[in-house]
Amino acid sequence: MSYVDEILERTRVQNPAQPEFLQAVQEVLESLRVVIERDEDAYRRDALLERLTTPERCFIFRVPWVDDHGQVRVNNGYRVQFNSAIGPYKGGLRFHPSVNLSVIKFLGFEQVFKNSLTGLPIGGGKGGADFDPKGKSDREIMAFCQSYMTELSKYIGADTDVPAGDIGVGGREIGYLFGQYKRLKDVFEGVLTGKGLTYGGSKARTEATGYGLLYLTQEMLKCNGYDLAGKTIAVSGAGNVATYAIEKAWQLGAKPVTCSDSTGWIYDPEGIHVDTLKEVKEVRRARLTEYAARRPSAVYHEGKGVWSVKCDVALPCATQNELHLEDAKLLVANGCFAVAEGANMPTTLEATAYLQEHGVLFCPGKASNAGGVATSALEMSQNSERLSWSFEEVDAKLQDIMVNIFHNLDQAAKEYGMPGNYVAGANIAGFKKVATAMQAQGIV
């Protein structure tokens, strides 16, 4: 049996109830076959793939908190420190009822390659809780964040592990988490990124994931002979990534016509109105029905269906496994020629294969959504030098990073005989740096 197949089997046997983690490992290892086969004996002797697919450390802890009725509630908290070969663990925290060890391990595993692709010195980690922020008061959110940080603070630090936001964790939550860390440790350090601008946050961090997605998409289109300007874009999601992807799409001359949340989706033929979206989602924390009520041109559809709209480019920015084979078929039938992932692993393995087989340009999230974590690394740099850079400076660095990422994965795909296969390119380019660093550091 080949070394890759051996490790896939081992991962399946050891993690039987972790479908998301298995999916992520399968996607990466399938692309690495060509690299591993060139030097199979050395990789096997060093057990490099066993080490790569096994987190350095996983913490699972109890998070008790008191709700507004005086009832004590208990959630499961997680932090997975996956790989520190190229820098301190770095990756977001997700607060969502779907969170479990499989989800956090898949996200942490993806983060290792994503962070490597940024070219910056950050290892991979991820954390979160099965806490549902929906419908909670500000005080309940604060109580939860403080209790979560009381435990998490034992494992993190500015040079050890630096969490940030993800689904359900934005500026408000990072503020409460940071306040509690500082109170417990009595140290003001860059232990979290995505901080507010008054206490060490970086300009352009809020916008970075969505903006970065569009910078990379623009470069991918350009290198394949297309112009992003004038294109119709379907976007899913209505959180931080989707909102700033929509904003940047407009700025680059494209027209984003959809967005979605957990209950339904919007088709706005005149294009999604960014200020209305921000007011509804960021300020009022309301449902998209409110967006539809404020925009006469918008049509609200209950449930799923965002990928049934005719578009040139699709940007899934909601969550994992939101774009299925049936959706991929609809996109191709409707003339969509490019997909770039804003979320982490939003496209299923079958849907990805279908899109690639039908000539659709496809960029995986670990490359196209890396702008968020890259800007987090820039926030860490600013914290270390106790300075803050202008919006323009950070944004210019972000653009450079995204363009470089695209060229790195394009190059890696060509080098290994798979031109245009950006999934393989991203996995190979991300892997090589991490593997070289792991080999250099001995058996740890």
Q: Which residues bind ligand GLU (CB under 6 A)?
A: 90-92, 164, 166, 193, 344, 372-373, 376
55-93 burial: b if 16+ Cβ within 10 Å, else e: bbebbebebebeeeeeeeeebebbbbbbbbbbbbbbbbb
In the numeric block, the tokens 């002979």 are attached to 225
**CB nearest ligand GLU: which residue?**
92
Could you give the CA distance from residue 291 to residue 277 in angstroms, rounded to a whole number? 6
Residue 129: CB minimum distance to ligand GLU, A = 14
Could you give the CA distance from residue 29 to residue 297 in angstroms, rounded to a whole number? 46
Those residues with Cβ within 8 angstroms of residue 6's Cβ, 6 or more apart along the chain or in another chain: none
β-pairing verdict for 255-256 and 161-164: unpaired
Q: Which is nearer to ligand GLU, 162 or 309 (CB)?
A: 162
Q: What is the DSSP string of 129-144?
A: ES---TT--HHHHHHH
Sign of the CA dihedral running 210, 423, 356, 166: negative
Q: Which is nearer to ligand GLU, 379 or 410 (CB)?
A: 379
Could you give the CA distance from residue 160 to residue 253 in angstroms, rounded to a whole number? 41
Residue 200: CB minimum distance to ligand GLU, A = 14
Q: Which is nearer to ligand GLU, 155 or 415 (CB)?
A: 155
Helix (H, G, I), strand (E, B) or coil at 421: coil
Q: Which is nearer to ligand GLU, 193 or 308 (CB)?
A: 193
* Amino acid of residue 406: F
Could you give the CA distance from residue 405 to residue 219 in angstroms, rounded to a whole number? 10
Could you give the CA distance from residue 56 to residue 86 in angstroms, rounded to a whole number? 13
Q: What is the DSSP string of 304-351?
A: S-GGGS--SEEEE-S-TT-B-HHHHHHHHHTT--EEE-SSSS-B-HHH
Could you give the CA distance from residue 359 to residue 338 in angstroms, rounded to a whole number? 9
Kindly report the number of other CB atoms within 10 A of residue 441's CB atom: 11
Residue 9: CB minimum distance to ligand GLU, A = 28
Residue 218: CB minimum distance to ligand GLU, A = 20
Residue 343: CB minimum distance to ligand GLU, A = 8
Q: Which is nearer to ligand GLU, 79 or 90 (CB)?
A: 90
Establish whether 126 is a catalytic residue.
yes
Residue 47: CB minimum distance to ligand GLU, A = 28
Whether 79 contacts 125, CB under 8 Å: yes
Q: Which of 126, 248, 366, 397 is catalytic?
A: 126
Residue 156: CB minimum distance to ligand GLU, A = 12
Could you give the CA distance from residue 219 to residue 221 in angstroms, rounded to a whole number? 5
Q: Which is nearer to ligand GLU, 194 or 271 (CB)?
A: 194
User: Would you state the structure tokens that stand for residue 356, as one six-digit string?
Assistant: 């690639």
Residue 301: CB minimum distance to ligand GLU, A = 28
Whether 367 contacts 409, CB under 8 Å: yes
Q: Which is nearer to ligand GLU, 107 or 438 (CB)?
A: 107
Q: Which is nearer to ligand GLU, 88 or 271 (CB)?
A: 88
Phi, psi angles (nearest 5°) of residue 330: -65, -45
The residues that are catalytic are: 126
